[in-house]
Structure 1
Amino acid sequence: RGKGAAVQLGWQRANGDVVMLLDGDLRESAAEAEHLLAPVMEDACDMAIAILPSPRQKAGMGLAKGLAHRGIKWLTGFEASAPLSGQRAIRRDLLQKLGKIDKGFGIEVSLTVDALRAGYRIREVPVGFFHRETGNDWRGYSHRGKEFVAIGRTLCTKWWEGKPWLHTP
């Protein structure tokens, strides 16, 4: 059912006041999650988003990340350094207020836009996570292409939702 559905099910079944979203391929660097958790636990923000170190090898053309960055800025005014980072610490009440989240690869953009629109505080935090990187091969370009389409769909949906006069009967 997709990444977003898995995240939705996971946070609903998790316990605690703060939910951590971490990729399964972080390996030993997952221990760095404490740096992501700290600002939320200290009430410096409601959602902390990890800024990962620069990749060892540049992959792709930056289209998906650029679309996400510009779309978030256009819809909310927030200048995201890591618009596609899936590594997040989020207050449970934020997730409960937002309710259902995006089903696909647009989940990060959707969470960011919805949280900002609802008045929640977001902080981006440099964290030394390392994970498997997509390459400059067919699989990498295919993945990023699907991601680009999903981000575009999410941004269009968020734009539409932000126009209340379009929804009145």
Structure 2
Amino acid sequence: MKEYISVLIPVYNEEEKIEKTISAIKDIELIDKICVIDDGSKDNTYEIISIIDNIEVIKISKNRGKGNAMQVGLNAVISYSDIIVFLDGDLGESSEEVIKLIKPIINSEAHVSIAKFPKAKKKGGIGLVKKLAKYGVYLHTGVLLDTVISGQRAFRKEVLENIYFPTDYGIEVGTTIDILKKGYKVIEVDVLMHHNETGRNLRGFIHRGRQFIQIFKTLIRKTIS
């Protein structure tokens, strides 16, 4: 019996790529549902997604964070879905690589699959955020993963029924720790996905600074909880 597969795409101000992201996965036969959750976008994202056929669109009136948008989407599909996939809205045509995340879950190779992106084409930061996330998860679980902060993930339903989504940049780290501590198997999958890269400019360093602080706070909470 075929398992029901839903893809959830939380978005905030993704007018440039969201249509291409959706178009690239609409004809994948394994996918039964595409649900896009607009997290209070201030650009034309909602206008674009609201006229695309054969997808579900959920609009959140005010931006409340990616974790909240993920939870809203999850609440809408979890009752009838067996496998649930999360994708970012800025993947463009590379979203078609999602099939590589789905197949290991269908084949019972793991409970969770995480996309491992190719090496970035342009220089970003100096790797502090990724190292903090990677070794923070290792210290909590004894499992060494390279792609802890990747948001492109496929889950068995049972996993998502047993974890909580924080709303800040610590979401991937926090949920990864919870998943591993509960004994679920996680695998990393090489994909040819790409999305908007943060450069070495003031905006980029501010973004990575916020990530670092929120991931650090997440790790502290996990230590004392």
Counterpart Cα distance in 1 of 2:224 and 2:166? 14
Shift of 1:2: 1.0
Q: Equivalent residues in 2 for 1:39-54 (5 A)? A: 39-54=104-119
- Give the Cα separation in 2 of the matches to 1:8 and 1:157: 20
Is 1:129 aligned to residue 199 of structure 2? no
Structure 1 partner of 2:94: 29
Q: State the distance in 2 between where 1:27 and 1:110 align.
A: 27
Q: How does 1:46-65 map to 2 (within 5 A)?
A: 46-65=111-130
The aligned amino acid for 2:68 is A
Q: State the partner residue of 1:68.
A: 133
Is the 1:106–1:150 contact (alpha carbons within 8 Å) kept by the matching residues of 2? yes
Match of 1:8 in 2: 71
The TM-score with structure 2 as length reference comes to 0.69
| Corresponding pairs, count | 160
Q: Residue 221 of structure 2 aligns with which residue?
A: 157
Q: Provide the C-alpha distance between the structure 2 equivalents of 1:65 and 1:76, rounded to a whole number of angstroms.
A: 16
Larger fraction in strand: 2
Aligned AA (2:170): G
Return the offset for 1:5. 0.9
* Unmatched runs of 5 consecutive residues or more in structure 2: 1-63
Partners of 1:57 and 1:30 in 2: CA distance? 20
TM-score, reference length from structure 1: 0.92
Match of 1:38 in 2: 103
DSSP-derived class of the 1:53 partner: coil
Q: Which has the higher helix share?
A: 1
* AA in 1 matched with 2:132: L
> Cα RMSD over matched residues?
0.9
1:147 is the counterpart of 2:185: no
For residues 97 and 87 of structure 1, the distance between their equivalents in structure 2, rounded to whole angstroms, comes to: 19
Q: Deviations over 1:111-156 (max 9, x none)?
A: 1100000111100110110111111111111111111011001111
Aligned equivalents of 1:69, 1:105: Cα separation in 2: 14
Structure with more relative contact order (C-alpha pairs < 8 Å, separation 6 or more) = 1
**Deviation per CA, 1:45-75, whole angstroms, max 9, x where unpaired?**
0010000010101201111111001100000
Matches of 1:12 and 1:46, distance apart in 2: 19
User: CA shift at 1:90, angstroms?
Assistant: 0.9
Q: Which moved more, 1:79-88 or 1:1-10?
A: 1-10
Q: Work out the CA distance in 2 between the residues paired with 1:154 and 1:44.
A: 29
1:84-109 deviation digits (Å, cap 9, x = unpaired) = 101000112111112x2211111110
Instruction: Give the unaligned 5+ runs of structure 1.
Output: 162-169
Q: Which runs of 4+ in 1 moved over 2 A?
A: none
